[in-house]
Every structure is written in C-alpha cells, then in structure tokens.
C-alpha cells in the first residue's frame, strides 16, 4: 500500500499497476499455451516410447532373440562364456594339428 498526497499522481500509479497486471496476464496466457503445447508433445513422445518398448518385449519371444546384448547378462557369466569359448577353440586347433 502506497500513500500519495496528490490525487492525480495516485490515479497515474493505479493506472500503471493496472497496465502491468494486464501485461502480465497476457504473458502468463502465452506461457501457459506454450507449456500446454510442449506437454502435448511430450505425451505423444511417451506414447511412442511405450509402443516401442512393448514391441521390443514381443520381439523377445522369437527364437534366437534371447541372446540379446551382452550387457544384459551378468558379467561373471559373460567372462565364463568367453573362457569356455576360448577353451573350445584351443581344443579344436590342438585336435586338428595333432591328428
């Protein structure tokens, strides 16, 4: 609250406050419209991502697709598989050359 002794000055100040409120209301409306448009875009992107995820889940039922990415397996099982693969390769080479 501001006390002004001059009535014409008080009217000017009141008008400037009203103008600022009108301006801010317009800017708020614009910001809300932009936010709602962005929110709609995010919702569309989330729906696409959900469809993609559900499609990958269904594709996982195909034979041979269970191999997947090595990062999905536990690291110790991955290293154990590499060791046994190397042992198999060494065994095959030794059997071939010793024959």
pLDDT in tens, the chain (99 residues): 667 677 888 888 888 888 888 888 889 999 999 999 999 999 988 888 877 766 655 555 555 555 555 555 577 788 889 999 999 999 999 998 887
Q: What is the pTM of this model?
A: 0.37
What whole-number distance in Å separates Cα of residue 9 and Cα of residue 35? Answer: 39
pLDDT of residue 62: 52
Task: Find, among 15, 18, 12, the residue nearest to 26 by Cα.
Answer: 18
pLDDT of residue 13: 85
Report yes or no: 70 and 78 within 8 Å, Cβ to Cβ: yes
């Amino acid at each position: 609250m501001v006390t002004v002794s001059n009535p014409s000055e008080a009217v000017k100040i009141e008008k400037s406050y009203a103008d600022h409120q009108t301006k801010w209301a317009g800017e708020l409306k614009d910001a809300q419209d932009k936010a709602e448009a962005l929110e709609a875009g995010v919702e569309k992107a989330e729906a696409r991502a959900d469809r993609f995820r559900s499609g990958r889940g269904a594709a996982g039922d195909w034979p041979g697709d269970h191999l997947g990415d090595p990062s999905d397996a536990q690291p110790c099982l991955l290293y154990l598989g590499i060791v046994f693969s190397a042992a198999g390769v060494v065994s095959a080479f030794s059997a071939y050359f010793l024959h």
